[in-house]
Amino acid sequence: MRIGIDIMGGDFAPKATTLGAILALNEVPSDCRIVLIGDEPMTKSILAENGVDASLFDFIHADQVIEMGEHPTRALSQKPNSSLSIGFQLLKEGNIDAFASAGNSGAMLVGSMFSVKTIPGMNRPAICSYLPKENGGFGVILDVGANADCKPELLVQFAILGSLVAEILFGIKNPKVGLLNIGEEAEKGNILTQATYPLLKETANINFIGNIEGRDLFNDKADVIVCDGFTGNIVLKLSETFHDMTAGKGMDAPFFARLNYENYGGSPVLGVNAPVVVGHGISNDIAIKNLILLAKEMVSTNLTEKIKSAFKE
């Protein structure tokens, strides 16, 4: 297994990304190689400063960087030697089994669609994230930013994707799917949710339990929460704020501590033909470590192939 990490991606790259890769070494299996994609001399210098043998990693040199504020499509075409572009090329050719980056999220999404491409049967890929539950478990929410505007059919696909993630990564049998809305009644909501509700109800391979409200995000009413990317991104950022506020005030809040983005590393891009994980731009070394471990988990559980099979049926 070979996990590629964009060593130049993120606000604190390449130091945080390199240190995160070092931390991940202790937790990946012996047959897993971490491939560092970026400025090789700079990366090896950071490894040397920390007394780490460079031979423990594989290196792919990249002399260009796609910055956070660059236009995704333009940057990918104009910077073919960037760490992001090279990472996707390696993934497309099968030279790495998964690719992860805390860099430009738009470029990660565009790169996924144009390199490894969308799974047949999927309209558009989605980005999912995880929400801790009061009972100690986790829930899945999607989309959280890839698709600000959605059609009802797309939300149905998100429900299927989220159900697979909940079952495969978290071991939740027959996960409960809820449509995020402003009320529990079937007729509540905007045009999108009103049109989506009957489609979800008629979808045979999911366990749709109806509408849920914002108050249900952290309880066990639903294991999979479906919404458009605009709504999902607001939910995600608001959830992260609970952690930041309580931590900043020095409060001992164990549940809110579970909202810390560092714990999860990143968000899978679901619905493309190879494992891709997007990390938070402000990722530190711990977040990068977990980003790599999430990518490894996607490979070891064969998540992508299981999604492909689901959309063939």
The predicted-structure confidence for 111-130, as pLDDT tens digits, reads as follows 999 999 999 988 899 999 99
CA–CA separation, 287 vs 266, rounded Å? 8
> Of all residues in the chain, what percent carry a pLDDT higher than 70?
100
- Name the residue with higher pLDDT: 311 or 224: 224
Q: For 23-43, what is the mean pLDDT?
A: 95
Pairing verdict, β 98-101 and 2-6: parallel
Residue 159 and residue 166 in contact, taking contact as beta carbons nearer than 8 Å: no
CA–CA separation, 72 vs 83, rounded Å? 13
Query: 77: domain CATH number?
Result: 3.40.718.10
Residue with tokens 């986790």: 138
Q: Which domain holds residue 264?
A: 123-268
CA–CA separation, 234 vs 229, rounded Å? 9
Domain assignment present for residue 131? The answer is: yes
Q: Please give the C-alpha separations between residue 58 and each of 36, 61, 96, 170, 285, in angstroms, as whole numbers.
A: 6, 10, 11, 30, 19
Flag whether pLDDT at 313 surpasses 80.
Answer: no
Flag whether pLDDT at 304 surpasses 70.
Answer: yes
Per-residue model confidence as pLDDT tens digits over 227-245: 999 999 999 989 888 888 8
Residue 224 and residue 172 in contact, taking contact as beta carbons nearer than 8 Å: no
Residue type, 167: E
Q: For 105-113, what is the mean pLDDT?
A: 91
Domain assignment present for residue 253? The answer is: yes
Residue 253: the pLDDT is 82
Say if residue 174 is in the same domain as residue 285: no
Residue 21: the pLDDT is 97
Flag whether pLDDT at 195 surpasses 90.
Answer: yes
Q: For 184-194, what is the mean pLDDT?
A: 94
Domain assignment present for residue 256? The answer is: yes
Residue 210 per-residue DSSP state: E
Q: Please give the C-alpha separations between residue 71 and each of 27, 86, 203, 259, in angstroms, as whole numbers.
A: 35, 17, 37, 30
Per-residue model confidence as pLDDT tens digits over 44-98: 999 999 999 999 999 999 999 999 889 999 999 999 999 999 999 999 999 999 9
Is this structure's pTM higher than 0.85?
yes
Say if residue 51 is in the same domain as residue 32: yes
CA–CA separation, 246 vs 66, rounded Å? 34
Q: For 305-313, what is the mean pLDDT?
A: 85
Instruction: At 128, list the tokens.
Output: 């999912």
Say if residue 37 is in the same domain as residue 140: no
Residue 281: the pLDDT is 87
Domain assignment present for residue 307? The answer is: no
Nearest to 64 by CA among 45, 85, 43, 47: 85
Residue 254: the pLDDT is 86
Residues whose CB falls within 8 Å of the CB of residue 297, separated by 6 or more in sequence, listed in order: 169
